């Protein structure tokens, strides 16, 4: 559009006679207008000029070519598999299966198709780790265009295994999270090098970071770490000291462990009585000396606990349970019985429970995994249960299924079953899976028939969906027979809703596994 | 009007709306209640003042509230008032905000009925009545355009700088007068101008172009009989005349071909519950481009689905025009395609712009045109501008917004892409799963 026309129009014809020369063929058209008002002439000239301009438009020179995406080396997942992943990325309901689906894709050497990449790159949270391996060359190429998608191109510290080549660079220049991730990986491959790295930056790091670094020592923890850890017991930060003490307590040959054992020996004495079995005497020191504090013992007890109880618990928790067997000659069962006769029972039991967990003592775990309450209910410690042999865990879990609903005011039977299921490694063994489904079917049928047990919200259904192996899907999808109790029809409906949700999820997982074969 | 409370309740989309509507069914919650032969209306004070109109014959409602339910609780409230007491609404003249809606609906309904009505031979009295209506309309348009010309002259006399500070109502009032004059095409041009001042650094040139184009239209209408018959059709349609489906079939060009779907997009008209879908088709043998328009109210779906990248054999009937573009599928019938080879594509952006120039020369009021571009690459520059680059190394801007799906599908490699050009930017007609993109070796991806 001619500037003269625009400025004439802006000013208005009342202020200024419009200049209608455009030095284009339009001028002859304007000349042929004849008797028209100035306003009309200006508007028509502008209309013609607009057409003239638009007809004369040509494309501009493009900026220099950018490098296209490199060719893919892996195949795309099937359209149906991609559609399922798309659904899970959008829809909260099946999101829990997304990590499994992506892991399967990774193992099958598949990548996402291009159309799904923008949605995948927009994902947030933990799922990014699982998405990285399946983005393909195009995903990484595309991610470079959007700052929000940087996570896809940043050096992947792949949790599943090998140390990246630029590990040292990441350690020196990366973000907190990246440095810790690479340190954790290095601990697995070369603990000595990891130690060297940590020791070289120790004095300049903040307390929070020092604690996080210490926690990586849990990977491949060994006596080689002991000297450094022992030295950090003098650190000015209490959280750092606490982290070191916890680690050292797990090394039976460490100096701290030896000191704790000595303290324990001073505090506990054992005696075998002829007729009355074992006896434990507790002698706590009058005051806690500095070396106790250095080893991570806290003097201030948690709310509701006595100072002495707390002290005893901490000492016991730091000593391997089998030390007591060696020192006294008593069996774990005997020690348990003896503790019950003292006024220190709670502290002893809690201390032994913690010791069993950190020292992974199977015999003691078997005694302690279950905590009985006075009203006949009990709870399950999943960490301790997980230490037992798999056969035992499976048997205990099946027994818990049979208990559902019995004497259950608060839904605790579903709760303990949930804790037990948490302790089971996934996927479940097929024989267990089948037995679990049979037991659950039977129990649900009886419970509904009894009409006494109102269903409580529980995770066991989603746990089962995730943990059942594909061999058990057929069993899971067989119809569940629920007969209503005439006085309580809503009970049947509640269970039925849960079962319907369970079966739909199983079908989804089944389809997903079929679409992403390994 | 015999509307009962029960009848209103059955109109409600759900129980919650019905009870919310009943709460609003008291005259004390309303201002400006009114009715006439065709319409009911009122203004309801909610969290803002919401304007409701109801078409008496079809009970179609329109409310300015943001609710996605139809009818919304405000509309239901108005209907409950009427059901209780028909006299609660005073008989009076429609205020502007009602008239604009009613007239627009009349134009839309006419369009839709044009599609649904079967071709029945006209009886003599019908024909006479129709011709009388046509004369009446022509007279209304003549008068309307005469006032428009005066208004435009005034505007230019005062200058665009003076118009810069005018509120939107300056344009919208003139637009509604054009609607009253049955020149709805002119009205929508005026409405678009309302948004131009200050919208970009070059707004004076853009506004002047739009005003100039409108003046040319009015001028052309003034001596329409001297124009080529085909161009006369374009002028009438640009003013706001519509044709019924059977008229298009009777008078327009028919083209039989395999029609490849370049793509579709839909949008909602401001403040209405009317959605429009534009689908661009490309004839595989003839290379003809066609635009199919569909309309739907509220959440209703469009009558025909055109999956991108699919092709169907059909006869299209084009609206008569100096450059026929808009078309309908004759009889709504489509059968399996007979061809399998790739559809004809345009080799470069400048080739496309030359085609557009030729089209504009033949039909100056053409607003958009589409084509299948071959071997183009979407580009996102460092300055965050989206462009489409052709194999001749030239580029045109892509429409506002992000084009991640397109960039992902292309991966920086050339693709064949259907696009729509509106004079300023290219809108890609496909992206995502059903992409009609053809890979370098011409294999069709996503064929339906």
- Span A502-514, pLDDT tens digits: 998 999 999 999 9
Is residue A367 a contact partner of residue A325, using CB atoms and an 8 Å limit? no
Q: What is the residue whose two structure tokens read 């020791």?
A: A199
Contacts of B158 in chain A (CB under 8 A): 12, 14
Is 60 exceeded by the pLDDT of residue A159? no
Name, of A381-385, B119-123, B368-372, the range with top average pLDDT.
B368-372
Least confident of A474-488, B155-169, B178-192: A474-488
Residue B432, pLDDT score: 33
Residue A158, pLDDT score: 57
Is the CB of residue B390 less than 8 Å away from at least one CB of chain A? Answer: yes
Contacts of A65 in chain B (CB under 8 A): 389
Decide if B216 and A58 are in contact by the 8 Å CB cutoff.
Answer: no
Residue B448, pLDDT score: 27
Interface-testing mutation among B148, B150, B152, B159, with chain A (most A C-beta atoms within 10 A): B159
Decide if B394 and A61 are in contact by the 8 Å CB cutoff.
Answer: yes
Gap from A153 CA to chain B (nearest CA, Å)? 15
Is 80 exceeded by the pLDDT of residue A448? no
Name the residue of chain A whose CA is nearest to B396's CA: A59
Gap from A32 CA to chain B (nearest CA, Å)? 14
| Average pLDDT estimate for B346-365 | 94
The pLDDT-based confidence of B254 (bands split at 50, 70, 90) is very high
Residue A443, pLDDT score: 87
Helix axis angle, B168-180 relative to B184-194, nearest 10°?
180
Gap from B54 CA to chain A (nearest CA, Å)? 38
The pLDDT-based confidence of B314 (bands split at 50, 70, 90) is very high
Cis status, amide bond into A427, omega within 30 of 0: yes
Contacts of B162 in chain A (CB under 8 A): 12
Residue B119, pLDDT score: 44
Of B162, B208, B432, the CB nearest to A1: B208
Q: Give SS3 for A485.
A: strand
Gap from A34 CA to chain B (nearest CA, Å)? 13
Decide if B209 and A146 are in contact by the 8 Å CB cutoff.
Answer: no
Residues 6-45 of A with CB under 8 A from B: 6, 9-15, 37, 39-40, 42-45
What is the number of residues in chain A? 518
Decide if A55 and B360 are in contact by the 8 Å CB cutoff.
Answer: yes
Strands A268-273 and A277-282: antiparallel
CA distance B33 to B91: 9
Interface-testing mutation among B208, B220, B387, with chain A (most A C-beta atoms within 10 A): B208
The burial of A253, by beta-carbon neighbours within 10 Å (0-12 exposed, 13-18 middle, 19 or more buried), is given as: exposed
Contacts of B161 in chain A (CB under 8 A): 10-12
Decide if A9 and B407 are in contact by the 8 Å CB cutoff.
Answer: no
Is 50 exceeded by the pLDDT of residue B301? yes
Q: Which residue has the higher pLDDT, A373 or A213?
A: A213
| Average pLDDT estimate for B357-384 | 92
| Average pLDDT estimate for B364-388 | 92
Is the CB of residue B157 less than 8 Å away from at least one CB of chain A? Answer: yes
Residue A182, pLDDT score: 87
CA distance A66 to B382: 11
Is residue B400 a contact partner of residue B428, using CB atoms and an 8 Å limit? no
Residue B114, pLDDT score: 56
| Average pLDDT estimate for A125-133 | 90
| Average pLDDT estimate for A158-186 | 79
Decide if B357 and A56 are in contact by the 8 Å CB cutoff.
Answer: yes
pLDDT, tens digit (0-9, with 9 covering 90-100), for B412-421: 999 899 999 9
Residue A132, pLDDT score: 92
The pLDDT-based confidence of B331 (bands split at 50, 70, 90) is confident
Give the Å distances, CA to CA, from B215 to A137, A239, B67, B150, B252. 54, 80, 39, 11, 28
Decide if B211 and A10 are in contact by the 8 Å CB cutoff.
Answer: no
Residue B121, pLDDT score: 56
Of B208, B214, B412, the CB nearest to A69: B412
CA distance A334 to A277: 8
The pLDDT-based confidence of A106 (bands split at 50, 70, 90) is very high
Is the CB of residue A59 less than 8 Å away from at least one CB of chain B? Answer: yes
Contacts of B219 in chain A (CB under 8 A): 40, 44
| Average pLDDT estimate for A328-345 | 88
Residue B434, pLDDT score: 30
Joined together, the tokens standing for residue B67 give: 């609710």
Is 60 exceeded by the pLDDT of residue B109? no
Contacts of B215 in chain A (CB under 8 A): 40, 43-44, 46-47
Is 80 exceeded by the pLDDT of residue A46? yes
Is residue A447 a contact partner of residue A405, using CB atoms and an 8 Å limit? yes
Name the residue of chain A whose CA is nearest to B207's CA: A6
Q: Which residue has the higher pLDDT, B124 or B174?
A: B174
Q: Give SS3 for A210.
A: helix
Residue A161, pLDDT score: 64
Residue B115, pLDDT score: 52
Of B152, B157, B408, the CB nearest to A114: B408
Is 50 exceeded by the pLDDT of residue B162? yes
Is residue A103 a contact partner of residue A130, using CB atoms and an 8 Å limit? yes
Strands B49-55 and B90-91: unpaired
Q: Which residue has the higher pLDDT, B13 or B182?
A: B182
Of B215, B394, B404, the CB nearest to A43: B215
Contacts A–B by Cβ distance under 8 A: 160
Contacts of A5 in chain B (CB under 8 A): 208
Of B152, B396, B412, the CB nearest to A59: B396
Is residue A221 a contact partner of residue A247, using CB atoms and an 8 Å limit? yes
Say how many C-beta atoms besides its own lie within 10 A of residue A82's C-beta. Answer: 23
Is 60 exceeded by the pLDDT of residue A277? yes
Residue B280, pLDDT score: 95
Residue B123, pLDDT score: 61
Decide if A61 and B395 are in contact by the 8 Å CB cutoff.
Answer: yes
Is the CB of residue B359 less than 8 Å away from at least one CB of chain A? Answer: no
Is 90 exceeded by the pLDDT of residue B84? no
Q: What does pLDDT average to over chain B? A: 84
Q: What is the residue whose two structure tokens read 């009937």?
A: B317
Interface-testing mutation among B212, B359, B380, B426, with chain A (most A C-beta atoms within 10 A): B212
Is 50 exceeded by the pLDDT of residue B192? yes
Residue B442, pLDDT score: 32
Least confident of A158-172, A416-430, B215-229, B241-255: A158-172
Name the residue of chain B whose CA is nearest to A72's CA: B411
Residue B1, pLDDT score: 47
Of A37, A40, A47, the CB nearest to B213: A47
Is 50 exceeded by the pLDDT of residue B118? no
Element (H, E) at A129: helix A127-131
Q: Which residue has the higher pLDDT, B309 or B5?
A: B309
Decide if A1 and B209 are in contact by the 8 Å CB cutoff.
Answer: yes
Of B353, B393, B405, the CB nearest to A61: B393
- HSE of B323 in the Cβ direction (CA atoms, 13 Å)? 18
Residue A274, pLDDT score: 81
Residue B437, pLDDT score: 42
Decide if A9 and B204 are in contact by the 8 Å CB cutoff.
Answer: yes
| Average pLDDT estimate for B66-88 | 82
Joined together, the tokens standing for residue A236 give: 């000015």
% pLDDT > 90, chain A: 41
Is the CB of residue B434 less than 8 Å away from at least one CB of chain A? Answer: no
Of A14, A48, A145, the CB nearest to B380: A145
Gap from B393 CA to chain A (nearest CA, Å)? 5
Closest to B401 in 3D by CA, of B371, B426, B437: B426
| Average pLDDT estimate for A449-477 | 85
CA distance B273 to B38: 19
Residues 126-145 of A with CB under 8 A from B: 138, 141-142, 145
In sequence order, what are the beta bridge partners of A268? Answer: A282
| Average pLDDT estimate for B236-250 | 92
Name the residue of chain B whose CA is nearest to A47's CA: B212
% pLDDT > 70, chain B: 89
Cis status, amide bond into A385, omega within 30 of 0: no
pTM over 0.90, yes/no: no
In sequence order, what are the beta bridge partners of A76? Answer: A111
Residues 183-242 of B with CB under 8 A from A: 204-205, 208-216, 219
Of B204, B412, B433, the CB nearest to A141: B412
Is the CB of residue A378 less than 8 Å away from at least one CB of chain B? Answer: no
Contacts of A46 in chain B (CB under 8 A): 208-209, 211-212, 215
Phi and psi angles of residue A272, each rounded to the nearest 5 degrees, phi first: -100, 120
The contacts found for A242-246 with CB under 8 angstroms, 24 or more apart, are A242/A296, A243/A211, A243/A214, A243/A215, A244/A214, A244/A296, A245/A295, A245/A296, A245/A318, A246/A296, A246/A358
Interface-testing mutation among B145, B151, B205, B214, with chain A (most A C-beta atoms within 10 A): B205
Is residue A4 a contact partner of residue A21, using CB atoms and an 8 Å limit? yes
Is 90 exceeded by the pLDDT of residue A273? no
| Average pLDDT estimate for A52-65 | 91
């Amino acid at each position: 559009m001619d500037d003269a026309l625009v400025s004439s129009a802006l000013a208005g014809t009342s202020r200024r006679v419009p200049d209608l020369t455009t030095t284009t063929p339009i001028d002859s058209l304007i000349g042929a207008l004849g008797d028209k008002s100035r306003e009309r002439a200006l508007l028509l000239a502008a209309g013609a000029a607009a057409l003239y301009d638009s007809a004369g438009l040509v494309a501009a020179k493009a900026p220099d070519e950018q490098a296209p995406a490199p060719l893919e080396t892996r195949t795309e997942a099937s359209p149906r598999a991609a559609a399922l992943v798309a659904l899970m990325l959008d829809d909260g309901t099946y999101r829990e299966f997304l990590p499994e689906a992506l892991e399967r894709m990774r193992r099958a050497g598949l990548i996402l198709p291009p159309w799904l990449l923008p949605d995948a790159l927009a994902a947030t949270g933990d799922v990014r780790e699982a998405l990285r391996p399946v983005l393909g060359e195009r995903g990484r190429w595309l991610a470079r265009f959007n700052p929000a998608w940087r996570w896809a191109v940043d050096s992947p510290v792949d949790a599943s295994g090998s140390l990246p080549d630029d590990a040292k660079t990441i350690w020196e220049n990366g973000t907190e999270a990246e440095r810790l991730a690479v340190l954790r990986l290095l601990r697995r491959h070369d603990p000595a090098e990891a130690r060297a790295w940590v020791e070289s930056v120790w004095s300049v790091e903040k307390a929070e970071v020092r604690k996080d670094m210490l926690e990586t020592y849990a990977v491949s923890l060994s006596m080689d770490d002991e000297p450094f850890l022992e030295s950090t017991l003098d650190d000015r930060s209490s959280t750092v000291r606490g982290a070191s003490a916890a680690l050292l307590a797990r090394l039976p040959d460490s100096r701290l462990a030896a000191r704790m054992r000595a303290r324990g020996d001073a505090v506990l004495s054992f005696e075998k009585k002829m007729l009355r079995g074992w006896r434990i005497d507790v002698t706590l020191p009058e005051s806690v000396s500095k070396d106790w504090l250095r080893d991570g013992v806290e003097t201030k007890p948690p709310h509701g606990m006595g100072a002495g109880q707390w002290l005893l618990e901490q000492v016991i928790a730091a000593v391997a349970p089998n030390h007591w067997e060696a020192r006294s000659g008593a069996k774990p069962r005997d020690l348990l019985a003896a503790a019950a006769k003292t006024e220190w029972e709670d502290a002893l039991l809690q201390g032994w429970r913690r010791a069993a967990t950190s020292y992974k003592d199977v015999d003691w775990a078997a005694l302690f995994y279950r905590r009985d309450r006075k009203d006949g209910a009990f709870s399950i410690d999943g960490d301790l249960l997980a230490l037992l042999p798999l056969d035992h865990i499976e048997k205990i879990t099946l027994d818990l299924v049979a208990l559902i609903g019995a004497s259950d005011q608060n839904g605790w039977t579903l709760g303990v079953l949930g804790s037990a299921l948490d302790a089971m490694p996934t996927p479940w063994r097929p024989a267990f899976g089948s037995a679990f489904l049979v037991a659950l079917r039977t129990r649900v049928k009886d419970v509904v028939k009894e009409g006494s047990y109102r269903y409580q919200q529980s995770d066991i259904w989603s746990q089962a969906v995730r943990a059942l192996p594909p061999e058990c899907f057929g069993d899971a999808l067989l119809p569940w027979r629920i007969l209503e109790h005439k006085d309580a029809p809503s009970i049947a409906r509640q269970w039925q809703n849960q079962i319907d949700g369970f079966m739909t999820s199983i079908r989804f997982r089944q389809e997903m596994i079929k679409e992403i074969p390994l | 009007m015999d509307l009962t409370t029960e009848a209103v309740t059955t109109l409600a989309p759900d129980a919650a709306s019905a009870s919310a509507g009943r709460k609003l069914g008291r005259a004390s919650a309303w201002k400006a209640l009114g009715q006439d032969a065709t319409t009911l209306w009122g203004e309801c004070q909610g969290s803002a003042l919401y304007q409701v109109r109801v078409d008496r014959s079809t009970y179609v409602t329109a409310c300015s509230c943001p609710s996605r339910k139809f009818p919304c609780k405000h509309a239901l409230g108005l209907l409950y008032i009427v059901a209780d007491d028909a006299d609660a609404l005073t008989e009076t003249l429609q205020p502007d905000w009602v008239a604009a809606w009613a007239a627009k609906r009349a134009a839309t309904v006419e369009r839709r009925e044009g599609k649904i009505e079967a071709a029945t031979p006209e009886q003599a009295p019908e024909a006479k009545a129709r011709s009388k209506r046509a004369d009446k309309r022509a007279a209304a348009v003549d008068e309307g355009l005469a006032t428009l010309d005066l208004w435009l002259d005034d505007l230019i006399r005062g200058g665009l700088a003076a118009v810069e500070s005018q509120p939107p109502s300056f344009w919208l009032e003139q637009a509604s007068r054009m609607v009253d004059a049955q020149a709805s095409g002119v009205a929508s041009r005026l409405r678009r101008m309302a948004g131009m001042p200050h919208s970009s650094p070059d707004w004076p040139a853009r506004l002047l172009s739009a005003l100039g184009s409108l003046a040319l239209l009015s001028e052309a209408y003034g001596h329409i009989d001297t124009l080529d018959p085909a161009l006369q059709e374009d002028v009438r349609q640009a003013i706001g005349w519509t044709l019924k489906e059977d008229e298009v079939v009777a008078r327009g060009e028919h083209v039989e071909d395999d029609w490849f779907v370049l793509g579709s997009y839909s949008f909602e008209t401001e403040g209405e519950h009317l959605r429009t879908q534009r689908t661009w088709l490309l004839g595989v043998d003839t290379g003809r481009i066609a635009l199919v328009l569909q309309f739907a109210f509220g959440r209703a779906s469009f009558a025909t689905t055109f999956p991108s990248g699919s092709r169907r054999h059909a006869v299209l009937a084009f609206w008569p025009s100096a450059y026929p573009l808009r078309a309908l599928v004759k009889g709504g019938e489509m059968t399996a395609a007979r061809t399998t080879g790739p559809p004809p594509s345009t080799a470069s952006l400048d080739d496309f712009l030359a085609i557009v120039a030729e089209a504009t020369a033949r039909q100056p009021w053409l607003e958009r045109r589409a084509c299948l571009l071959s071997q183009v690459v979407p580009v996102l520059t460092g300055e965050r501008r989206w462009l489409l680059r052709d194999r001749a190394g030239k580029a045109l801007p892509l429409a506002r917004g992000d084009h991640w799906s397109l960039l992902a599908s292309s991966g920086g490699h050339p693709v064949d892409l259907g696009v729509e050009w509106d004079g300023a930017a290219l809108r890609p007609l496909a992206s995502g799963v059903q992409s009609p993109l053809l890979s370098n070796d011409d294999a069709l991806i996503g064929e339906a």
